[in-house]
């Protein structure tokens, strides 16, 4: 595979300075409170032969593609996820085709705790690699806890609540008292008094004076007083006395944890209080016979290691000193063996993967050309087989031990006390994994959170030491302690000019928590319908833990986190993950598509044959074999189909809603149309009735020998037969007053109605007129003045007219009461 295309496309002929505040065009890619420290342009990601911009921020190493301006995930890694890094120089080959390349190529090799090896290429005669290397040396191992990004960013919208309150709620659930409510004030004061028939919550460690690495509240046997607990703690390493981690509220069986007993080299030291406390874990069974249950003491270490610890005052219990007990050794190796095993697995995946740190596929490793002309196939220490890594063997040992513990509790209703040396690494792995098998609640999102916060955080797994980050006291591995040594791998014609990593002597970093999550993924593979969460959730969760973006996993104990105010100063990982799930409801990839809580409502009892582990594709193979990590994954395909179906269902619902709205609108319009039709019919009937009445009045007036004339204040004479009422009881006439006779009339124009008598001779000949003349006192020489003289109303008392003369008095000057025939 020829990998020099991106390299040759870059024109670097002079030394360019690196801006330490280069944020131009980067705002859209940065997180909250994230700042660019150093930026290098024209850098090549050797793994994929991609040219782009490499930025070192206060949170991560960020690589943007030069062509697409997209974030390249392989080249982007959180600073705390970086285990070590080093500078390399690859000299040009002597092959004729490479003679035109006279400059050595500068490389920066980055090893991640998440099983990836990244290599960046820099052109010679630039200071970019030096600037990036110095920035990584400073920011990957900050000197103080307060320099961490999680504390710089603050809680943001993913604020945390009191972790102690969540722990007490989990204790109440275990004791069958989850209906009770405990206030934060009582927790802080250490005034909690809760118990059942066998166990109680003790606040003897509320000030962390009993054990600095234990939580402030403990579940202990009800028959043991706080004073006896104080005495028993002196017989256990670091004061980590036996306490209850999980209990069955119905049967009384428990999972207890502690550190090793201080029996000494001769294994002859004893403590009456310790033996009494351990015996109290073996309560009477509930079968009515009154027999005491059996106690198993599970020592996670190999037997020889337990005996060797006796020389330093530690050791293991003797079954003869503890009532009805049996001591079992699981043979799980220590943190250093796990760290070395994961490093070998990382090298194996890089060497035999499809996307390796030398930019070459494993199929072409023994032939062809590598990136830049140099053969980088030995950049990582080659591991011939997967078995040589021993990683899967270690995972199987943890799985088998946890399954054995869960089986003793579920099948025999026995109690099990688990410990190793300090009781915070292998002990935590076994107890939490066994609890996961026993209790279906821990296989849900809420239960998984409660399990991790109880057994890993509250009981003092030293996350700061295992992740290599500062503690609350400010101690960390400073830059002066970072060894500057040659790379462990041998590069043909390659020299190492600098490296930064932990000193192997004082290195307490170890992938203990990563290994436990790997074990959970193996159980998820064996029981795909028993877990509410998916493998994708475990990957994202583990990435968040390694990145230290949130404060939940900072420091080594609950005491340190409380003293540093981590809960108030940092964001919460659980709130963040819940926010991701809420964005897509039940279709998010974190949900297990095959989860069936009714199918696995009881403890899981995996047989030994089913515990043979395999590589975790979504995590182990995502960098070395990205296509194979997702290909053929039923869960991913189901989520894709589920998402498509959800989108189609939403579109259908929207269409149905629009159709319903249209139907409602049509019905409303039809009702309005029917109403208008009824009004129109009523108006027409009214208009016809008024017209007939008007016509009758008109004829009656004409019968009196008078004529009706209409006019406005503009002296516009109107035809007496052309006027139709404008508005009569809702009926609108097509002929409006403002357009009578084709002329425009103002609304203020007055309509005048005048009734004049016809020819005086004709009037006098009318019998009614003669009567009127006789009776009318207002008769003048000019003739009849009716109706101006108001005599018609007076005369109507004597003349038998049927016309309603009062209507004439009430005539409005704008009303038209007469229309044409």
Which residues are identified as catalytic?
A: 420
Alpha-carbon distance of 343 to 509, in angstroms, equals 12
State phi, psi for 740 to the nearest 5 degrees: -70, 140
Residue 651 and residue 693 in contact, taking contact as beta carbons nearer than 8 Å? no
Q: Which two tokens stand for residue 389?
A: 């890594």
5 vs 50: CA distance, rounded Å: 9
Report CA Rg, the chain: 47
Closest CA to 302 of 330, 264, 263, 327: 330
Nearest to 814 by CA among 666, 696, 701, 710: 710
**Are the C-beta atoms of residues 529 and 595 closer than 8 Å to each other?**
yes
Structure tokens, 678: 């009824």
Cβ atoms 705, 762 nearer than 8 A: yes
Phi, psi for residue 64 in degrees, rounded to 5 = -110, 135
562: helix, strand or coil: helix
Residue 604 φ/ψ, nearest 5 degrees: -85, 130
Nearest Cα to Cα of residue 509 among 693, 256, 288, 339: 339
Q: Which of 113, 422, 123 is nearest to 260 (CA)?
A: 422
Q: Are the C-beta atoms of residues 68 and 77 closer than 8 Å to each other?
A: no
Q: Position of tokens 């280069």?
A: 22
Phi and psi (nearest 5°) for 418? -115, 135
Question: Among candidates 336, 577, 559, 564, which has minimal Cα distance to 449?
Answer: 577
Paired tokens of 257: 């944890």
Write out the DSSP string of 392-415. HHHHHHHHHHHHHHHHHHHHH--E
In this structure, the chain runs to a length of 821
Percent helix, strand and coil across the chain, each to the nearest 5: 40, 15, 45
Other Cβ atoms within 10 Å of 495 Cβ, number:
13
Plot region of 131 (φ>0 → left; ψ -120 to 50 → alpha; else → beta): alpha
Which three-class secondary structure state does DSSP give residue 415? strand
Contact 497, 106 (CB under 8 A): no
CA atoms within 13 A on the CB side of 793: 8
Measured distance CA(812)–CA(753) in Å, rounded: 9
Within 10 angstroms of residue 180's Cβ, the number of other Cβ atoms is 11
Q: Which two tokens stand for residue 49?
A: 């032969």
Strand partners, 76: none
> CB count, 10 Å around CB of 144?
14
Bridge partners of 38, per DSSP, are 56
Which residue's structure tokens are 């003289």? 789
C-alpha distances in Å from residue 302, one per residue of 318, 331, 421:
15, 4, 11
For 76, 88, 199, 374, 745, the CA distances from 493, given in Å and listed in that order, are: 28, 11, 67, 8, 107
User: Between the CA of residue 795 and those of 52, 773, 786, 798, what are the distances in Å?
Assistant: 112, 10, 10, 5
Element (DSSP H or E) covering residue 129: helix 128-139
Separation of first and last alpha carbons in the chain: 104
| Cβ-based neighbour number of residue 551 at 10 Å | 27
């Amino acid at each position: 595979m020829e990998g020099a295309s991106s390299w040759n496309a870059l024109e670097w002929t002079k030394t360019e300075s690196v801006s330490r505040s280069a944020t131009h065009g980067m705002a859209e890619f940065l997180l909250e409170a994230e700042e660019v420290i150093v930026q290098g342009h024209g850098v090549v990601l050797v793994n994929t032969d991609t040219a782009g911009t490499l930025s070192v921020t206060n949170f991560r190493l960020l690589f943007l593609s030069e062509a697409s301006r997209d974030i390249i995930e392989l080249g982007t890694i959180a600073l705390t996820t970086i285990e070590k890094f080093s500078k390399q120089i690859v000299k040009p080959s002597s092959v004729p085709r490479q003679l035109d390349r006279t400059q050595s190529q500068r490389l920066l090799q980055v090893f991640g705790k998440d099983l990836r090896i990244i290599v960046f290429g820099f052109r010679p005669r630039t200071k970019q690699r030096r600037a990036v290397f110095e920035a990584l040396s400073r920011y990957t191992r900050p000197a103080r806890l307060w320099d961490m990004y999680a504390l710089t960013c603050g809680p943001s919208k993913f604020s945390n609540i009191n972790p102690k309150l969540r722990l007490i709620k989990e204790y109440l659930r275990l004791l069958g008292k989850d209906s009770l409510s405990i206030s934060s004030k009582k927790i802080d004061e250490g005034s909690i008094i809760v118990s059942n028939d066998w166990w109680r919550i003790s606040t003897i460690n509320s000030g962390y004076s009993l054990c600095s690495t234990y939580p402030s509240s403990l579940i202990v046997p009800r028959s043991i007083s706080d004073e006896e607990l104080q005495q028993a703690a002196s017989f256990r390493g670091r004061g980590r006395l036996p306490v209850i981690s999980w209990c069955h509220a119905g049967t009384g069986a428990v999972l207890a944890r502690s550190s090793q007993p201080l029996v000494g080299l001769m294994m002859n030291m004893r403590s009456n209080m310790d033996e009494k406390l351990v015996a109290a874990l073996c309560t009477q069974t509930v079968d009515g016979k009154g027999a005491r249950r059996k106690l198993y003491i599970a020592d996670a270490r190999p037997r020889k290691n337990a005996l060797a610890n006796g020389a330093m005052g530690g050791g293991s219990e003797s079954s003869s000193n503890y009532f009805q007990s049996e001591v079992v050794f699981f043979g799980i190796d220590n943190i250093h063996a796990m760290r070395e095993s994961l490093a070998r697995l990382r090298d194996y995946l890089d060497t035999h993967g499809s996307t390796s740190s030398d930019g070459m596929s494993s199929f072409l490793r023994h032939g062809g050309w590598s990136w830049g002309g140099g053969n980088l196939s030995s950049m990582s220490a080659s591991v011939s087989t997967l078995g040589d890594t021993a990683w899967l063997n270690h995972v199987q040992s943890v799985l088998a031990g946890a399954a054995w513990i869960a089986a003793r509790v579920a099948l025999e209703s026995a109690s099990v006390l688990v410990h190793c040396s300090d009781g915070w690494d292998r002990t935590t792995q076994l107890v939490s994994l066994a609890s996961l098998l026993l209790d279906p609640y821990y296989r849900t999102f809420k239960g998984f959170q409660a399990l991790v916060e109880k057994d890993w955080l509250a009981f003092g797994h030293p996350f700061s030491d295992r992740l290599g980050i500062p503690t609350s006291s400010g101690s960390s591995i400073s830059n002066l302690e970072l060894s500057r040594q040659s790379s462990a791998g041998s590069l043909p014609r390659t020299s190492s000019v600098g490296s930064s990593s932990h000193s192997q002597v004082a290195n307490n970093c170890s992938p203990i928590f990563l290994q436990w999550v790997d074990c959970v993924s193996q159980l998820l593979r064996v029981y795909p319908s028993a877990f509410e969460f998916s493998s994708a959730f475990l990957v994202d969760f583990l990435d968040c833990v390694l990145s230290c973006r949130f404060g939940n996993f900072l420091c080594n104990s609950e005491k340190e986190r409380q003293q540093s105010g981590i809960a108030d100063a940092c964001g919460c990982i659980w709130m963040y993950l819940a926010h991701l799930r809420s964005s897509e409801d039940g279709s998010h990839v974190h949900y297990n598509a095959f989860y069936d809580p009714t199918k696995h409502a009881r403890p899981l009892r995996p047989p030994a044959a089913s515990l043979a582990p395999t590589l975790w594709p979504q995590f182990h193979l995502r960098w070395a074999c990205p296509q194979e990590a997702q290909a053929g994954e039923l869960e991913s395909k189901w989520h894709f189909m589920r998402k498509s179906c959800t989108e189609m269902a939403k579109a259908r619902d929207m269409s149905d809603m629009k159709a319903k709205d249209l139907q409602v609108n049509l019905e409303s319009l039809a009702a309005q149309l029917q109403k208008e039709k009824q009004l129109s019919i009523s108006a027409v009937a009214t208009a016809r009735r008024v017209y007939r009445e008007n016509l009758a009045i008109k004829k009656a007036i004409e019968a009196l020998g008078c004529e009706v004339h209409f006019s406005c204040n503009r002296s516009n004479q109107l035809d007496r037969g052309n006027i139709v009422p404008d508005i009569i009881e809702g009926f609108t006439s097509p002929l409006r007053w403002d357009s009578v006779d084709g002329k425009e009339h103002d609304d203020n124009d007055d309509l005048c109605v005048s009734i004049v008598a016809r020819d005086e001779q004709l009037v006098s000949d009318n019998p009614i007129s003669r009567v009127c003349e006789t009776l009318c006192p207002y008769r003048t020489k000019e003739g009849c003045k009716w109706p101006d003289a108001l005599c018609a109303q007076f005369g109507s008392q004597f003349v038998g007219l049927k016309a309603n003369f009062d209507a004439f008095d009430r005539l409005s000057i704008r009303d038209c009461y007469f229309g044409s025939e």
